[in-house]
Structure 1
Amino acid sequence: MDLLSRLLHRDGLMLIVDKPAGVAVHRGPKGGPSLEDAFDQLRFGLPRPPALAHRLDKDTSGCLVLGRHRKALERLGKLFKSGRIGKTYWAVVEGAPAAEDGDIDVPLGRLDAARGWWMRPDPLGLPARTSWRVLGRSGDGARAFIEFTPHTGRTHQIRVHAQSMGWPILGDPIYGSGRREGSAPLHLHARAVSVPMQDGKPPVEAVAPAPAHMRQALTACGWSGKAQP
């Protein structure tokens, strides 16, 4: 896997790469290929490869932040935990929100122990809030192009929140119609990230281009391929 061509940002503390969809960020208990296998390409003279500062789901594409050494990873960990890192996601959903924007404030809990990381709305769960706005709609009203901004970092937060509103993300194999054979891949993309890495300096910002597997559905919802407001 060529990660050098997918590098969005590089400095002495961190890297931001455009993660391809369909690749796990790290090797799971069952083994198999992962993005970490290619991190040696990104050493750029340092004795060790970079390490993950956070996670993206296997089927999610887009901005992934890596720390280049221990102190940088400690700083990034605190920023993610405190919610100071800005994250923007693009998604195509099945269904049509009645409004043009809003907030989803729905606590989330584990579905059950046997389902691992699968989540569900749970009034006794952990607080979870996501803002959203519609960027486009398909002509037949069956789908919408939405920008999501998560304010908390719960597992599968955007995916469960979208489903809870009645418009699951297109191709979601757990919470949407992606369980059907021959269905579309997950249409969720980590579009942009903003990292206030150093106090007193502007945040580091990166934007990942729309992935190939989402472009047809995005175009059907009015996306022109140009920068979105």
Structure 2
Amino acid sequence: MLDVLYEDNHLLIVNKPAGMLVHGDETGDVPLAEVAKEYIRQKYNKPGNVFIGVVHRLDRPVSGVVLLAKTSKALARLNEMFKSKKMQKTYWALVQNRPPQESQTLVHWLVKDSDRNVTKAFAKENPAGQRSELSYRLRSHQEEKYLLEVYPVTGRPHQIRVQLASMRCPIIGDLKYGAKQPLPDKSIALHARELAFEHPTLKTKVSVSAPPPAAAAWAPFRNLK
């Protein structure tokens, strides 16, 4: 079942559940892209091949807003917006420790180990790494959970996860980066909350937000705007 947040002739924006792949991999599990194609086939009675372009990805255990393109024209323009950092991305992250400051900008050089699928953060420039930047602010504190609103400037693999862990604030459930225990559904408490950008053909502003997951970890923050 696809949780559609916004749709028009060029765009399909959905709320991806934690645990779903965006692209297919060696597991053979059905990815979001294929679910979206089937949704369009059924809704518009389109047999045969359906175009869906994946503009960006979320890690499998992460939930939230995913932008898909329904036309090649939209895909090309949206890809260019991501490259030129014209997309405003907002994430919510639940962490198990209070951050050292209530708001801060973090800059690291990230080096990905593809064999182990893990990323390391270096505070000083590393020739093997990619410069990575985000800002965060503390939004709420409930039941020994700290909700950070995160604004990534760059989009590196595992960036938010490893940069928050680098300041001893691992995301709840994220065992790979230092969380104490898993969440029951094997998700991590990182949610792509909002995406704002200029429509690729209409040139109007599009801003779409996704409610946090139904998982118990998010219960204290569900009514937060």
Instruction: State TM-score, norm by structure 1.
Output: 0.85
Q: Between 42-51 and 97-106, report the one with greater CA deviation.
A: 42-51
**Equivalent of residue 133 in structure 1, options 121, 132, 137:** 137
What residue is the counterpart of 1:63 in the other structure?
Answer: 65
**Which deviations, in whole Å up to 9, do the C-alpha atoms of 1:63-119 show, x marking residues without a partner?**
000000111111111011111111100110011113211111111111x34213x21
Question: In 2 relative to 1, CA 33–161 (structure 1 residues): closer, same or farther, beyond 3 Å?
Answer: same
> Is residue 187 from structure 1 mapped to residue 189 from structure 2 by the alignment?
yes
SS in 2 for 1:127: strand
Q: Sequence identity, in percent?
A: 33
Give the whole-Å Cα distance in 2 for the aligned partners of 1:136 and 1:113: 35
State the 1:227 CA deviation. Answer: 4.4
What residue is the counterpart of 1:114 in the other structure?
Answer: 115
SS in 1 for 2:73: helix
What residue is the counterpart of 2:12 in the other structure?
Answer: 15
**Equivalent of residue 156 in structure 1, options 149, 155, 158:** 158
Gap regions ≥5 residues in structure 1:
none
**Equivalent of residue 91 in structure 2, options 73, 89, 92:** 89
What residue is the counterpart of 2:102 in the other structure?
Answer: 100
Query: Does structure 2 retain, via aligned residues, the 8 Å contact 1:172–1:186?
Result: yes
Give the whole-Å Cα distance in 2 for the aligned partners of 1:72 and 1:119: 31
Query: Does structure 2 retain, via aligned residues, the 8 Å contact 1:16–1:66?
Result: yes
Question: In 2 relative to 1, CA 21–180 (structure 1 residues): closer, same or farther, beyond 3 Å?
Answer: closer
What root-mean-square deviation, in Å, do the aligned CA atoms of Structure 1 and Structure 2 show? 2.3
Gap regions ≥5 residues in structure 2:
none
Amino acid at match of 1:63: V
SS in 2 for 1:133: strand
Instruction: State TM-score, norm by structure 2.
Output: 0.87
What residue is the counterpart of 1:41 in the other structure?
Answer: 39
Amino acid at match of 1:87: K
Query: Does structure 2 retain, via aligned residues, the 8 Å contact 1:178–1:186?
Result: no
- Superposed, which structure 2 residues align to 1:199-218 within 5 Å? 201-213=203-215, 215-217=216-218
Total equivalences in the alignment: 216
SS in 2 for 1:177: coil
